[in-house]
Amino acid sequence: MKVEKMKSALLLVAGLPASGKTWFARALSEKLGACHINSDATRTDLGLRGEYDTASKQRVYDAMLRQAKAALEDGAFVIVDSTFFKQSLRQPWEDLAEKCGVPCHFIEMKIPESASFRRLQKKREDSEATTEVYLKLKAEWENIEKPHLTLDSNELSLDEMVRLAVKYLTENS
């Protein structure tokens, strides 16, 4: 069941590989009737699977930004899920929200490393992340300094995470 349509805003769902970002973002998007943009799906659409050099990563982020900009300009609530492991990757999104005159919210997905490793052992449809990728991104992770909601997808059910997210977004809009 969908909730009443939320005002246009940008929500970034961040976290390390296998933290449950896409699973959660899809469910929340469905609940809110929001536009969902996923970095792995965008990479696939661009024919860039397996290409993680700086230029390829930038092409993916640029394509996602264009899609988000168009949706925000149409008045949509936009949910974007990607690692967003560095502030330099988050800043263009905050700038986009400011230019579009909408709030920018963050939800950080976390799980214990052992749970991530178990999840990474299983083949996942969209993600190509491995334990090696997880460890590299973890070493480079920059904390999200802006106030945000943190969810543990290993401890909370999907319904509970969606409920907490809706409550957070409602209280902070």
Q: Nearest CA to 140 among 59, 29, 52, 69? A: 52
Instruction: List pLDDT tens digits, range 85-118.
Output: 999 999 999 999 999 999 999 999 999 999 988 9
Record the pTM.
0.92
Non-local CB neighbours of 93 within 8 Å, separated by 6+ positions: 10, 12, 65, 68, 80, 84, 104
| pLDDT of 123 | 73
What value does the mean pLDDT of the chain take?
91
CA-to-CA distance for 48 and 32, rounded, in angstroms? 30
Alpha helices in the chain (DSSP H): 21-32, 39-45, 54-73, 87-100, 113-121, 131-140, 158-171
Look up residue 88 and give its two tokens.
């330099």
Question: Can you list the domains of the chain with their CATH numbers?
Answer: 14-171 (3.40.50.300)
| pLDDT of 1 | 38
Q: Which of the 8 DSSP states describes residue 64?
A: H
Q: Do 111 and 152 touch, CB atoms closer than 8 A?
A: yes
Residues 117-145, buried b or exposed e (16+ Cβ, 10 A)? eebbeeeeeebebeeebbeebeeeeeebe
| pLDDT of 49 | 84
Q: Nearest CA to 77 among 12, 9, 26, 11? A: 9
| pLDDT of 67 | 97
Instruction: List pLDDT tens digits, range 116-166.
Output: 889 888 776 677 777 888 899 899 999 999 999 999 999 999 999 999 999
Q: Is the pLDDT of residue 56 over 70?
A: yes
| pLDDT of 79 | 98
